[in-house]
């Protein structure tokens, strides 16, 4: 009797399973499978290429990279546009205007022309009067290796996680879903240099301003745009793009040079370009400025690595983190007296270093949540023994030292310091983030 009861129970369970997995009173057996997937978010080309919009200056919310072109300080609002700050008096910066630029991360300024990325496009904008800025030209599809593009739907700007349910025949093996099957190739670039991320100094010359042409501005160490002579140089995750600016209003692409992968930053130095990637620093010369040529490479462990240089030395910070891979957090000092053969001469441990700057032997390091650290680097072998200041109550992302005023951006906002007296570095002003 007990065996019969067990058999009956098993039969009832089997019948219940069959009823649960069928969708109708037919002989066909179907079963569902629910899983999480990622659907692409598209921005149409019509939405991307709307007329330029200028609004009144407003609060910082998610600041990214910075750029200085006297008298204006430009602050990127990640993927939204550019804040234009009148910095004639660093002790009292004035928010002048906000230029709405969808998908903006990077910028550079020559004379009164702002060059900025807008997802896949490169814009040239007249900022001679920032409150009435105007679009001069748009180079469409300049950065197709950064964002995946569907010619009909537009640009993939991100992904939403969604729950999906598939129904399949019980008699067939269920094909496990490929969670990213909607991605149309490539991948949306995560700017590693931004916000603990994408992860530059010297967009217009040496960070201290000593190599600047007067017509060019100065960027931070996390920049992907830089200027030299009549050319604009831009690094993407794989390539170095060179644009001729003989007509500044209309950049013309002259060459695209394949560099490798995980390319992040660019810094101009002595008629050369120092290019940072997650696997090393590349050096290219500008003997022919229309077509930079490879000189040498310094390889390091996988990590994010902005670079700046002064005199015979380059300074490279390596940091860990999800976008950067790796587990290394340190400052590397390289001897570049022979650019064809850069040599590592000293390593200093750091907490989680991001951008950095150098001016007349004074080294500024943004050590993430560990704050801003300032060193006398005149002796590259004893930098850690000559710390001049440490501001540990702020998040520090990138810096521009210029004319003895340090511009520093972090997740908390913009800070400006007077370092004309290194024994008494003073805070001049702040522009806080207001969520």
Tens digit of each residue's pLDDT (9 = 90 or more) over 230-273: 999 999 999 999 999 999 999 999 999 999 888 999 999 999 99
313: domain range? 46-145+191-432
Quote the number of domains for the chain.
Answer: 1
173 — pLDDT class (breaks 50, 70, 90):
low
State yes or no: pLDDT of 11 exceeds 50.
Answer: no
- HSE on the CB side for 237, CA within 13 Å? 18
Residue owning tokens 């205007």:
97
Q: How confident is the model at residue 149 (pLDDT cuts 50, 70, 90)?
A: confident
What percent of the chain has pLDDT above 90? 67
Give how far Cα 139 sits from Cα of 199, 230, 287, 421, Å.
Answer: 24, 17, 26, 45
Band (pLDDT 50/70/90 cuts) for residue 324 is: low
Question: Is the pLDDT score of 37 beyond 60?
Answer: yes
Residue 104 lies in a domain: yes
Strands (E), 101-230: 107-110, 113-118, 121-126, 134-139, 149-150, 154-169, 218-219, 225-228
**Of the candidate ranges 77-91, 110-124, 322-336, 412-426, the one whose mean pLDDT is the lowest:** 322-336
What percent of the chain is predicted at pLDDT more than 70? 81
Asked if the structure places residue 2 within a domain, the reply is no
The answer to whether residue 172 sits within a structural domain is no
- Write the CATH number for 93: 2.130.10.10
Question: Has residue 177 been placed in a domain?
Answer: no
Which residue, 273, 278, 279, 280, is CA-closest to 257?
Answer: 273
Query: Which of the two residues, 195 and 297, has the higher pLDDT score?
Result: 297
pLDDT at 132 over 90: yes
- 201: nearest Cα among 310, 5, 356, 11: 356
| pLDDT of 12 over the 80 cut | no
Residue predicted with more confidence, 139 or 435: 139
For 211-250, b where at least 16 C-beta lie within 10 A, e where not — what string?
A: bbeeebbbbbbbbbbbbbebbbbbbbbbbbbbbbbeebee
Report if residue 12 sits inside a domain. Answer: no
- For range 292-301, the mean pLDDT: 89
Residue 193's pLDDT band, with cuts at 50, 70 and 90, is very low
Let me know if residue 7 belongs to a domain: no
Tell me the two tokens of residue 422. Answer: 């290194």
- Asked if the structure places residue 196 within a domain, the reply is yes
Burial of 340 (0-12, 13-18, 19+ CB in 10 A): exposed
Q: 247 phi and psi, to 5 degrees? A: -110, 95
> Distance between CA atoms of 413 and 312, rounded to whole angstroms?
33
Across 34-38, 120-124, 141-145, 317-321, which has the greatest mean pLDDT?
120-124
CA of 9: how far to CAs of 5, 12, 13, 212, in Å?
Answer: 6, 5, 6, 85
> Peptide bond before 275: cis, by omega within 30 degrees of 0?
no
Mean pLDDT over 337-356 rounds to 95
43-52: average pLDDT: 93
Higher pLDDT, residue 34 or 234: 234
237 within a domain of the structure (yes/no): yes
- The answer to whether 433 and 412 are in contact (CB under 8 A) is yes
Contact at 8 Å (CB) between 78 and 196? Answer: no
Q: Report pLDDT for 20.
A: 44
- Rounded to an integer, the average pLDDT of 201-219 is 53
Q: What is the pLDDT of residue 371?
A: 96
Rounded to 10 degrees, the C-alpha dihedral 106/157/280/122 comes to: -40
């Amino acid at each position: 009797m007990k065996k019969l009861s067990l058999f009956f129970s098993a039969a009832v369970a089997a019948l219940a399973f069959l009823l649960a997995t069928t969708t109708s009173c037919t002989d066909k057996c179907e079963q569902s499978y629910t899983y999480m997937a990622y659907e692409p978010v598209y921005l149409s080309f019509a939405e991307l290429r709307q007329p330029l919009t200028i609004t009144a200056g407003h609060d910082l919310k998610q600041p990214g990279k910075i750029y200085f072109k006297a008298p204006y300080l430009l602050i990127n609002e990640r993927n939204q546009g550019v804040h234009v700050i009148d910095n004639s008096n660093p002790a009292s910066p004035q928010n002048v205007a906000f230029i709405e630029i969808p998908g903006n991360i990077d910028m550079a300024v020559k004379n009164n022309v702002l060059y900025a990325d807008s997802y896949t496009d490169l814009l040239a904008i007249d900022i001679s009067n920032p409150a009435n800025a105007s679009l001069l030209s748009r180079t469409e599809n300049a950065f197709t290796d950064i964002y995946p593009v569907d010619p009909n739907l537009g640009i993939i700007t991100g992904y939403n996680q969604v729950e999906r349910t598939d129904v399949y025949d019980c008699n067939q093996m269920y094909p496990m879903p490929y969670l990213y099957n909607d991605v149309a190739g490539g991948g949306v670039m995560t700017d590693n240099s931004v916000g603990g991320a994408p992860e530059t100094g010297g967009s217009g010359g040496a960070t201290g301003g000593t190599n600047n042409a007067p017509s060019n501005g100065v960027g931070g160490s996390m920049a992907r745009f830089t200027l030299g002579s009549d050319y604009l140089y831009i690094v993407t995750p794989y390539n170095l793009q060179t644009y001729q600016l003989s007509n500044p209003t209309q950049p013309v692409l002259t060459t695209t040079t394949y560099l490798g992968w995980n390319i992040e930053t660019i810094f101009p130095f002595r008629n050369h370009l120092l290019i940072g990637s997650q696997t090393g620093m590349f050096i290219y010369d500008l003997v022919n400025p229309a077509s930079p040529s490879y000189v040498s490479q310094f390889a390091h462990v996988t990590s994010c690595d902005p670079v700046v240089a002064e005199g015979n030395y380059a300074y490279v910070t390596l940091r860990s983190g999800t976008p950067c891979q790796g587990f290394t957090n340190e400052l590397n000092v390289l001897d570049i007296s022979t650019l064809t053969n850069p040599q590592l001469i000293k390593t200093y441990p750091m907490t989680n270093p991001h951008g950095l700057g150098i001016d007349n032997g004074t080294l500024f390091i943004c050590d993430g949540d560990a704050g801003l650290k300032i060193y006398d680097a005149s002796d590259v072998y004893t930098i850690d023994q000559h710390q001049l200041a440490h501001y540990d109550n702020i998040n520090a992302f990138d810096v521009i030292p210029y004319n003895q005023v340090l511009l520093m951006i972090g997740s908390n906002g913009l800070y400006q310091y007077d370092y004309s007296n290194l024994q008494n570095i003073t805070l001049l002003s702040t522009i806080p983030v207001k969520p």
